[in-house]
């Protein structure tokens, strides 16, 4: 036991000496000083500082036994063999430090660890490329040939080198030298002849700026040569030369992976590592997600069948059985909604709404027995068109062409029309019983779900159609992602299904929702449309992450079937739901967050505007306030749910 204690004592007394020598505080060994005061060893390659056991600096009075023990410790440290992973980490750190200009630190790290940042031939090659010594760089390629896995890599790398050489000659006005490179060096490679033809065209450039613009090239100098080196490194094995900025790439991938695995991540993706902390794992709180009722809109006096945010996210349109459409204005700061105008006169009620691409117009459709649709100017509140082709029609769905000048409409009685803004019939498709419609971004293809439990694509220009989706049960409604790749279907008795329209395959079936034969409209939402939300006949709103089948949130508050959900396209944390209970609920983040999530009194912050408060009352179980203009009581539970109004 005593011998162990003595050994520990000797080790602790000797190691600081090694550290002090490494830090350049004092040393009696023979060796040269680095410019930053660090000491290098004398040609024995064993490490930095003294390696012969002689005393160093403040430990010069140490006994011979202690010195011998220190030598044993040093030799043990030197004999330890690094694993491949440890060597890789050291090289990654060294490359990053080199990029920061800490070259002496890199030298010290490599000497002490016994690692090599890159192969000596690769180091020469790097220097010759950055200095523009192209002949020497070509000779270096011959040394690197034996280290490459692909025999064709040399030709490709030589082509890139000669291309840079050619462009630099042209920029310097050395046309004859550039022509010699083109004819005598690039062309004989017999590689990428198309590119050689393009390069030959640069001979006609009248000045350097014209050359840089046409070649999309930074010009002679460090920037273009660094970019060239990045391309050249891709052909070299990582054991010879690390890929450019490899540590930065790995850290960025790690951050992206954590974001992808975060169930509630709902903010704009930023690939800049400066925007995140590398010291903590990425975690988004459920309190930051639109799971909490922020507002209840009660202005409708009957069932609310549909709701839809405008494309710019500044307005919300709601349609009801009470024959009205209400346009709501979204406050950009508080995200509170205020009634903007009411559009009246829809005798059968409003079951579907569609905003024009520029949000100037809004089309309203009715239920199955409605043969009319209304086209409103939202900005003026004026009815531009009231369209009806026949009293026998059923116009229950509508979709805008991307040009904003045409729309398609149809219903389950076999009507399928394409019309202009004045309601004039442009084209029609006979015998298609339409349940729901969507226009793709190509401006030609219209997707329509029909009574045959399928979605077909119709082209009004060449009058062709094709089957895209086939379900085993009726498709009550569907919507398409912004990129046109995915379709979200509400299928009778089955729930919510996600289809890939390009591959024509069922991607996922989402669980939890109660879907019978009522028409329920789901939606994509959140940043990058990573989330899916749907109403349900069990009075709830369900939210899923697009990649998971189980819901990540079940929102309660409605007392009857939730017919429609709309996610704000401009504000990822804002969502609306319409229900047969006659209300529209606005969902957002928790009304107050803990101290790690927001600043405020006792770690809690109430994001309400001043005019909302009259006489706040705080109890142990709820927070209540009164809106002064209407004297309406609003009560939140401590979990942030709007309890009463």
pLDDT in tens, 99-124: 899 999 999 999 999 898 888 889 89
pLDDT of residue 595: 42
- Write phi, then psi, for 425 (nearest 5 degrees): -75, 120
Residues 6+ apart with CB under 8 A from 274: none
Ranges 25-39, 362-376, 394-408, 535-549: which has the least confidence: 25-39
Integer Cα distance of 585 and 292 in angstroms: 10
Query: 66-78, pLDDT tens digit by residue?
Result: 444 455 445 445 5
Query: At residue 26, does pLDDT exceed 70?
Result: no
Contact 31, 41 (CB under 8 A): yes
Q: How confident is the model at residue 549 (pLDDT cuts 50, 70, 90)?
A: very high
pLDDT of residue 269: 64
DSSP secondary structure, 122-151, as one string: HHHHHHHHHTT-HHHHHHHHHHHGGG-S-T
What value does the mean pLDDT take over residues 549-574? 95
What value does the mean pLDDT take over residues 236-253? 89
Query: 164-215, pLDDT tens digit by residue?
Result: 999 999 999 999 999 999 999 999 999 999 999 999 999 998 889 999 999 9
Ranges 41-55, 160-174, 602-616: which has the least confidence: 602-616
Integer Cα distance of 220 and 225 in angstroms: 8
What value does the mean pLDDT take over residues 140-152? 84
Residues 6+ apart with CB under 8 A from 64: none
**Alpha helix locations (H) across 30-152?**
64-79, 84-99, 103-113, 120-130, 134-144
**Backbone region of residue 403 per phi and psi (left: phi > 0; alpha: psi in -120 to 50; beta: other values):** alpha
pLDDT of residue 58: 39
What value does the mean pLDDT take over residues 370-376? 92
pLDDT of residue 591: 81
Query: At residue 65, does pLDDT exceed 60?
Result: no
Q: How confident is the model at residue 613 (pLDDT cuts 50, 70, 90)?
A: very low
How does 374-410 read in b/e, with b if 16+ C-beta sit within 10 Å? bbbebeeeeebbebebeeebbbbbbbbbeeeebbbbb
Query: 491-526, pLDDT tens digit by residue?
Result: 999 999 999 999 999 999 999 999 999 999 999 998
**What percent of the chain shows pLDDT beyond 70?**
79
What value does the mean pLDDT take over residues 438-462? 91
Query: At residue 576, does pLDDT exceed 90?
Result: yes
Integer Cα distance of 228 and 132 in angstroms: 11
Residues 6+ apart with CB under 8 A from 362: 317, 325, 327, 343, 353, 354, 355, 356, 375, 376, 378
Residue 250 CB: number of other CB atoms within 10 A? 11
Q: How confident is the model at residue 5 (pLDDT cuts 50, 70, 90)?
A: very low
- Write phi, then psi, for 106 (nearest 5 degrees): -65, -45
- Write phi, then psi, for 52 (nearest 5 degrees): -105, 10
Average pLDDT, the chain: 81
Query: 307-336, pLDDT tens digit by residue?
Result: 999 999 999 999 999 999 999 999 999 999
Q: How confident is the model at residue 592 (pLDDT cuts 50, 70, 90)?
A: low
**What percent of the chain shows pLDDT beyond 90?**
57
pLDDT of residue 413: 84
Query: At residue 637, does pLDDT exceed 80?
Result: no
Contact 534, 520 (CB under 8 A): yes
pLDDT of residue 470: 95
pLDDT of residue 593: 54
pLDDT of residue 550: 95
User: CA separation (Å) from 227 to 154, 163, 198, 244?
Assistant: 18, 13, 20, 10
Residue closest to 30 by CA, chosen among 12, 7, 67, 56: 56
pLDDT of residue 283: 79
pLDDT of residue 390: 79
If DSSP codes are grouped into helix, strand and coil, which group holds residue 223?
helix
DSSP secondary structure, 385-423, as one string: EEE-S-TT----EEEE-TTSSEEEEE-TTS-EEEEETT-
Integer Cα distance of 330 and 335 in angstroms: 6
């Amino acid at each position: 036991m005593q011998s162990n204690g003595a050994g520990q004592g000797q080790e602790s007394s000797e190691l600081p000496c090694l550290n002090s020598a490494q830090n350049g505080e004092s040393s009696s060994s023979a060796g040269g000083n680095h410019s930053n005061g660090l000491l290098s060893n004398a040609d024995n390659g064993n490490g930095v500082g003294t390696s012969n056991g002689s005393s160093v600096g403040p430990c010069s009075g140490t006994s011979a036994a202690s010195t011998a023990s220190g030598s044993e410790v040093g030799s043990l440290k030197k004999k330890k063999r690094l694993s491949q992973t440890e060597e890789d980490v050291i090289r990654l750190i060294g490359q990053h430090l080199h990029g920061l200009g800490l070259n002496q630190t890199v030298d010290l790290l490599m000497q002490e660890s016994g690692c090599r940042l890159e192969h000596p031939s690769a180091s020469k090659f790097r220097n010759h490329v950055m200095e523009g010594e192209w002949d020497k760089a070509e000779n270096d390629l011959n040394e690197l040939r034996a280290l490459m896995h692909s025999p064709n890599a040399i030709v490709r790398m030589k082509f890139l080198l000669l291309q840079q050489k050619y462009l630099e000659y042209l920029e310097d006005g050395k046309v004859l030298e550039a022509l010699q490179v083109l004819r005598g060096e690039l062309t004989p490679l017999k590689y990428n002849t198309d590119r050689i033809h393009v390069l030959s065209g640069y001979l006609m450039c009248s000045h350097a700026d014209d050359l840089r613009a046409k070649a999309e090239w930074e010009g002679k100098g460090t920037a273009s040569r660094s970019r060239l080196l990045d391309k050249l490194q891709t052909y070299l094995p990582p054991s010879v030369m690390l890929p450019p900025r490899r540590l930065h790439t790995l850290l960025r991938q790690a951050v992206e992976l954590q974001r992808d695995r975060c169930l509630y991540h709902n903010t704009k993706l930023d690939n800049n590592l400066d925007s995140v902390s590398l010291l903590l794992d990425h975690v988004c709180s459920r309190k930051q997600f639109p799971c909490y009722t922020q507002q209840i809109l009660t202005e409708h006096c009957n069932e609310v069948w549909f709701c839809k945010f405008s494309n710019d996210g500044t307005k919300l349109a709601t349609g009801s059985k009470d024959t009205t459409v209400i346009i709501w204005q979204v406050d950009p700061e508080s995200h509170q909604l205020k009634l903007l105008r009411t559009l009246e006169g829809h005798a059968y009620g409003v079951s579907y709404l569609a905003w024009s691409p520029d949000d100037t117009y809004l089309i309203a459709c009715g239920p199955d027995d409605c043969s009319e649709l209304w086209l409103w100017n939202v900005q003026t509140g004026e009815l531009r068109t009231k369209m009806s082709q026949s009293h026998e029609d059923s116009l229950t769905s509508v979709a805008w062409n991307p040009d904003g000048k045409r729309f398609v409409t149809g219903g389950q009685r076999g009507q399928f029309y394409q019309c202009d803004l004045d309601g004039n019939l442009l084209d029609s498709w006979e015998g298609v019983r339409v349940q729901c419609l969507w226009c793709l971004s190509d401006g030609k293809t219209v997707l329509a779900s029909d009574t045959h439990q399928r979605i077909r694509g119709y082209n009004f220009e060449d009058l062709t159609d094709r089957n895209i989706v086939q379900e085993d049960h009726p498709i009550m409604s569907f919507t398409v992602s912004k990129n046109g790749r995915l379709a979200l279907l509400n299928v009778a008795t089955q729930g919510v299904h996600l289809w890939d329209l390009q591959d024509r395959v069922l991607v996922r079936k989402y669980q939890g929702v109660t879907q019978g034969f009522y028409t329920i409209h789901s939606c994509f939402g959140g940043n990058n449309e990573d989330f899916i939300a749907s109403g349900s006949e069990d009075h709830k709103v369900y939210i899923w992450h697009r990649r998971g089948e189980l819901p990540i949130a079940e929102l309660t508050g409605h007392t009857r079937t939730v017919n429609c959900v709309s996610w704000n396209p401009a504000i990822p944390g804002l969502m609306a739901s319409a229900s047969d209970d006659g209300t529209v609920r606005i969902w957002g983040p928790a009304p107050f967050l803990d101290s790690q999530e927001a600043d405020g009194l006792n770690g809690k912050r109430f994001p309400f505007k001043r005019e909302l408060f009259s006489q706040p009352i705080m109890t142990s179980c709820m927070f209540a306030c009164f809106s002064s203009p209407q004297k309406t009581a609003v009560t939140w539970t401590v979990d942030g749910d709007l309890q009463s109004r």
